[in-house]
Amino acid sequence: MTSVPELRKNDTVFASLFTPLRLGRRTARNRIVHAPMSVCYGDAEGFVTRPQVEHYARRAQGGAGTVITENFAVNVSGRQMPLQNLVDSEERLPGLRRLADEIHRHGALAMVQLVHAGRYAGPWDVYESRRRLAPSAVPFELTAGRTVTPQEITPEEIEETIEAFGRAAELCERAGFDGVDVHAAQGFLISGFLSPRTNRRTDDWGGDFDGRVRFALEVVREVVRRTGPDFVVGVHLMSDERVEGGWTLDDSVRLAPLLEAAGADFLFGVPTTFETMRLPANDGLMGRRGYAVADNAALSLATRLPVVAGGGLGDPSAAAHALERGHVSAIALARPLFTDPDWPRKVSDGALDAVRTCSCETARCLRTQLTGAVCESWPAETVERGYFGYGNDSYGERAHS
């Protein structure tokens, strides 16, 4: 590894952001986590590309202590996006190794978020032509005005999917990653098992609380079983579905110590799903500063594990306040680090006026997600290039001169 300059440890109101963070047997240099965000710089076959390597390494170069990738699918049936990465075979290892090595070169912990998209699996334009696996065959609105019905996953497919998560984690460890973040949120397959709205099974994988959480626990156990003791296993947990009759924060608080007992090393709570965030009762939630902090504070009181909170924490004061008063262990930034990968270094340096902020009313990063996300706040030459990797900003270069 090349020499990595230290972020300044000055005695400022933001000092809490820059203390080391223990995750399992690993230690991150600070408490700023690059949150998973789908940018889709992979290729159509699901392999890692150079732009993708540069994208994530640039966030490490900018000072994030832990870099978690966007969700990589554990198999083809769990793939959602047309340029989403796959972690399903040894042929993925060379690209994964390049990605892990380049993140490490800049001093950050490197992790992959693993997912099975469940009923959200794509491609959506031919949704009915393939089996879309869900706990139960519950119809839902996939896109505006279009209702579809996924297929109920069989017990055999459940076992195959648990094994796929374990195999993917093992591949990530072999590639040199420090850990994985198991995606159990946003309505994807694992969180679909948690919710009584989407899990109407009457077998051992449904019914009461114990039946509905079984799949999540078995996935975590398999990931732990297939990897070494130094490998970090996080859980990206649907903290509260925020809909009547759905999964609640009380359920998450009850599940948290069970995840700890299963071998999880950290939790990362996220409220709502892609569907429930659109409900009138949740209107404006995603625009509120620190909207996920309270849920994660509740999780932290239920377990000894470190808990990561994201959601509207791009203001450095809000981020520091979440750590100092919110009972969470780390803060996660998605769009703030997409917009400005040097956010950590600038905040550490006290150069707050230099921090670029997201200026989009309707986020361009989301509108361009299927083909490779870009940000309107990037310098013109970066937007033209199509991604923010190396050589796009002088602040990061100065930090390493």
One-letter-per-residue 3-state SS of the chain: CCCCCCCCCCCCCCHHHHCCEEECCEEECCCEEECCCCCCCCCCCCCCCHHHHHHHHHHHHCCCCEEEEEEEECCHHHCCCCCCCECCCHHHHHHHHHHHHHHHHCCCEEEEEEECCHHHCCCHHHHHHCCCEECCCCCEEEECCEEECCEECCHHHHHHHHHHHHHHHHHHHHCCCCEEEEEECECCHHHHHHCCCCCCCCCCCCCCHHHHHHHHHHHHHHHHHHCCCCCEEEEEEECCCCCCCCCCHHHHHHHHHHHHHHCCCEEEEECCECCHHHCHHHCCHHHCCCCCHHHHHHHHHHCCCCEEECCCCCCHHHHHHHHHHCCCCEEEECHHHHHCCCHHHHHHHCCHHHCCCCCCCCCHHHHCCCCCCCCCCCCHHHHHHCCCCCCCCHHHHHHCC
φ, ψ for residue 23, nearest 5 deg: -125, 105
pLDDT of residue 3: 52
Residue 397 has pLDDT above 70, yes or no: no
Residue range 253-269, pLDDT digits in tens: 999 999 999 999 999 99
Average pLDDT over residues 129-156: 95
Tens-place pLDDT, residues 276-303:
888 888 888 878 888 899 999 999 999 9
As a whole number of angstroms, the distance between CA 196 and CA 207 comes to 8
Beta-bridge mates of residue 182? 114, 235
Distance CA 114, CA 188 (A): 11
Task: Give the pLDDT score at 290.
Answer: 85
Residue for token pair 């959480």: 213
**φ, ψ of residue 39 in degrees (nearest 5):** -105, -20
Q: What is the pLDDT of residue 392?
A: 63
Predicted TM-score (pTM) of the model is 0.95
Q: Give per-residue pLDDT as tens, 201-250.
A: 999 999 999 999 999 999 999 999 999 999 999 999 999 999 999 999 99
- Name 227's bridge partners: none
